[in-house]
Structure 1
Amino acid sequence: MYRSILAAALCVALVAGATRAHAADDANGVIAKAVADASRPPTDTVRDANRKPAPALAFAGVKPGDKVADYGTGAGYFTRLFSAIVGANGHVYASVPSGLLQYPNIVKGIAEVQQFAFAHANVSVTYAAPIDAARYPEPLDLFWISQNYHDLPDDFMGPVDMAAFNRAVYTALKPGGVYVVLDHVAAKGSPTNVTDTLHRIEPATVRREVEAAGFKFDSESKLLANPDDPHTKGPFDASIQGHTDQFILKFRKPG
């Protein structure tokens, strides 16, 4: 009888594993289709080689039906992809922290996101102070912040109380929800103002701050790593632009 019970349990585990794998394959197919969509603007597709969106979003685990925050949406590169992936049953909150509105290029990009949202009912554009911009009308499956986490502790953003910000993200997510931080790597032992001078941040700093809010570290992707980056110039420097050493950290809210 013991062997029968063990065999039954093994069968259930195998079926569950196969189901999860099938669901992941389906989600990855949706992601690939969104990236390959011919209607994407050339200003987005020209960045695909450097941003590697299909594997990056597969790492995040986004899928149809998800409720997603794209915090610091910029010109909407990821917002447009998220919209195509989550579909009619999902929703994308393109969040704009007010500190970014002082930059004309950001304002122009956000206007493009707003225009996109007018034509896509599953996208909302929200404007608020940095911590308030991380609060949403429904629980989220994924909170995504790309190349903007390093901005938050800088003076032009407030500066933001990072403990309070990460607690707000924790509250915004469903139990089991995912928090992904993608940013430019700062050299180990960099001064705290490297976030402003070089627009970079140490991955260890992000881990320490996010885990302090109650998140559990899930995994790290080396997809955008560049060991040849000397970490001495900012991401807007022509010699490194588009090729900085970047990290992608994935955290999960327990539950």
Structure 2
Amino acid sequence: MKSLTLAASLALAIGVAAPSLVSPNYALANETHLVNQQVTDALTNPLRQAANIERDQYRHPGETLSFFGVKPSDTLVELWPGGGWYAEILAPYLAKEGHYIAANFDANPPEGLEVPGYRIRLGKALDKWLKDHGDTLGQASSISFDPPRLIELGAPNSADVVLTFRNLHNWAKSGVLEQVFDSVYKVLKPGGTFGVVEHRANPGMDLSTGYMVQDEMIALAEKVGFTLVASSEVNANPKDSKDHPKGVWTLPPSLRLGDQDKAKYLAIGESDRMTLKFVKKS
């Protein structure tokens, strides 16, 4: 029997209650996003881990994908899917008509290249998950993405959508964020969508906290050539004071302080996040 999880070492039961399709909206009571039936089906598909479904209350996947306008027929690239939280939704959603492409951690880096062990581990797990479920995930595939060494995301003008979730700070720390944005621009078709969700800083916060300044991210995307067409507060969290001792990783799901003040950070929930929709000029 094939594993239903991304990590081969985990064996989580799938018999869980369906997630709520109307998640809490912390900031804008009048901001609504209609979730189509295909997204609804993807949110409740049996490949999703129970622990991941529990995080829907913080990550609002139905509303987020609705805001980005992702269609079942899209060719979509997800940058650094990590443990596959969104892959478990996107790959089934696109299986019949579209194409999910994971711009994955390099699972087989060259000998002698120093790469964090967790990236190799997660890269291998996601590649295995896509292979194990190839019969139900249609054209779903992966490429290795390790900027600046591996920076190409596919043939120019070949993708309808590129999405990234909570990754910008990693590339900024490595000094490659503008290169990543440029690669996204190149792979998108004219009129294609670049969707960004990222931990949102207060002005003047240090990059080491894991939070990024929203206006700076918009300015960088516009410098590359994108146009900001909309922003959403669907992933906002005003409970997040952003002054935590271990930065954003103090909050769930990381909880870097362990049991120290755990109840306090669980009550805050996951970070305050910007949600930005850019398009490539036609």
TM-score (norm 2): 0.72
Partner of 2:249: 236
1:173 aligns with 2:183: no
* SS of residue in 1 equivalent to 2:71: coil
Q: Which amino acid in structure 1 is aligned with residue 195 of structure 2?
A: V
Partner of 2:30: none
Q: How does 1:145-164 map to 2 (within 5 A)?
A: 145-155=164-174, 159-160=175-176, 162-164=177-179
Higher share in helix: 1
Partner of 1:88: 96
Partner of 1:67: 75
Q: How does 1:180-195 map to 2 (within 5 A)?
A: 180-190=195-205, 194-195=206-207
* SS of residue in 2 equivalent to 1:49: helix
1:107 aligns with 2:120: yes
**Which whole-Å deviations, capped at 9, do the CAs of 1:178-205 have from their partners, x for residues lacking one?**
0011010111122xxx33x211101111
What is the alpha-carbon root mean square deviation over aligned residues? Answer: 2.4
Aligned partner of 2:40 among 23, 32, 38: 32
Q: How many Å apart are 1:214 and its aligned residue?
A: 1.0
Q: Classify 1:97/1:210 alpha carbon distance in 2 versus 1 (closer, same or farther; 3 Å).
A: farther
Which one has more relative contact order, counting CA pairs under 8 Å at least 6 apart? 2
Q: How many Å apart are 1:97 and its aligned residue?
A: 4.7
Count of aligned pairs between the two proteins: 223
Q: How many Å apart are 1:39 and its aligned residue?
A: 3.4
Q: Which has the larger radius of gyration?
A: 1
Aligned partner of 1:201 among 212, 226, 240: 212
TM-score (norm 1): 0.79
**Which whole-Å deviations, capped at 9, do the CAs of 1:111-167 have from their partners, x for residues lacking one?**
331122102242212113325344214611111010001111213xxx31x333222
Give 4+ residue runs of structure 1 displaced > 6 Å after superposition: none
Would you say the 8 A contact 2:106–2:119 is kept in 1?
A: no
Distance in 2, matches of 1:48 and 1:112, equals 22
> What residue ranges of structure 1 are gaps of 5+ in the alignment?
1-23
Q: Classify 1:76/1:133 alpha carbon distance in 2 versus 1 (closer, same or farther; 3 Å).
A: farther
Q: How does 1:212-231 map to 2 (within 5 A)?
A: 212-231=223-242
* SS of residue in 2 equivalent to 1:153: helix
Q: Which amino acid in structure 1 is aligned with residue 197 of structure 2?
A: L
Would you say the 8 A contact 2:95–2:140 is kept in 1?
A: no
Distance in 2, matches of 1:114 and 1:236, equals 26
Would you say the 8 A contact 2:80–2:145 is kept in 1?
A: no
Partner of 2:159: 140
Distance in 2, matches of 1:128 and 1:110, equals 10
Distance in 1, matches of 2:62 and 2:119, equals 24
1:122 aligns with 2:139: yes
Most deviating of 146-155 and 111-120: 111-120
Q: Classify 1:207/1:198 alpha carbon distance in 2 versus 1 (closer, same or farther; 3 Å).
A: same
Would you say the 8 A contact 2:151–2:183 is kept in 1?
A: no
**Which whole-Å deviations, capped at 9, do the CAs of 1:70-105 have from their partners, x for residues lacking one?**
101101111221111112331111112559983344
